[in-house]
Amino acid sequence: MVDLYAPTDPYDRGFLDTGDGNRLYYEQLGNPAGKPAVHLHGGPGAGTADRPARAWDPSRYRLVRFDQRNCGRSTPHASDPAVDMSLNTTRHLIEDIERLREHLGIERWLVNGASWGSALAVAYAQQHPERVSEVVIAAVTTARRSEIDWLYRGVARFRPEAWERFRDAVPEAERDGDLLAAYARLTAHPGRAVRERAAADWLAWEDAVVAGEPNGVPGMYSRREADAQVAFARICAHFFGHGAWLEEGQLIRDAGKLAGIPAVLVHGRHDLSCPPRTAWELAAAWPGARLHIVEDSGHAGSEELNLLARRAIEEFKDR
């Protein structure tokens, strides 16, 4: 058993200027002289959880967390329809991770993430393998268009009534077309009420997908304040509507670039948002990666899934 560590507050907080009008909030927890690690939050657009990082030994790890562009405490915030979303792409996020690493004087770090954070972790590691010591990811996705289409259309076969509400929340002329583009437009509408309604409809669908899972949590996505809801939905629609600016299958195709980087992948058997086939394919293409498929878990996780991730983090702290 790997126990949770006592809560600790960040010993350092700040904002990193990216040079293009964006400022990224970051914080550091644990031991300033410890093993560096970076956590990449999900969404995209979810922001860093405002709670202690209790999986990480604060005497051994130097953990960095930050809010990705236009969400959380980073500025400008995507809830403002005037924000230029063309400055928020996967390439920008990878550059931000590198910029933050250099700013903090870190040579190499363990990279950790879940859901969207898992795709970003793999994309970053493939571009900068020399900067990555280990990878620990959960709820694995690679943001292929086929995966995105599954989440926003395919899952309708299991949640038809919720999906029809999701579809019917956009103008009738757009319901049989590109739903993600419609939501991207609605969440950037100049009218605040329109933006908030579209975000609520988007998050209601995300909630419905996970609600029936083992350990599903009601309101898992929608339990955030209004501006955070708009930012989450707008950034998700923006990224996924563009296939996250990745070539189809790129992250699995290029997994060989990660040879020599120890990795643990943890995934729920009943993950309806990201079916386990993707985690299986990525692990098979990643030399030396270890995959754990957890029988009692979906996208929302479970105690067993969390325990396996904590064990990996514990295993790597002395490496």
Active site residues: 115, 271, 299
Nearest Cα neighbor of 113 from 97, 129, 127 is: 97
Contacts of 281 (CB under 8 A, 6+ apart): 252
DSSP notation for 140-197: E----HHHHHHHHTGGGGTSHHHHHHHHHTS-GGGTTS-HHHHHHHHTT-SSHHHHHH
d(CA 7, CA 23): 27
**61 in Cβ contact with 35 (< 8 Å):** yes
Query: What's the residue count for the chain?
Result: 319
Contacts of 33 (CB under 8 A, 6+ apart): 62
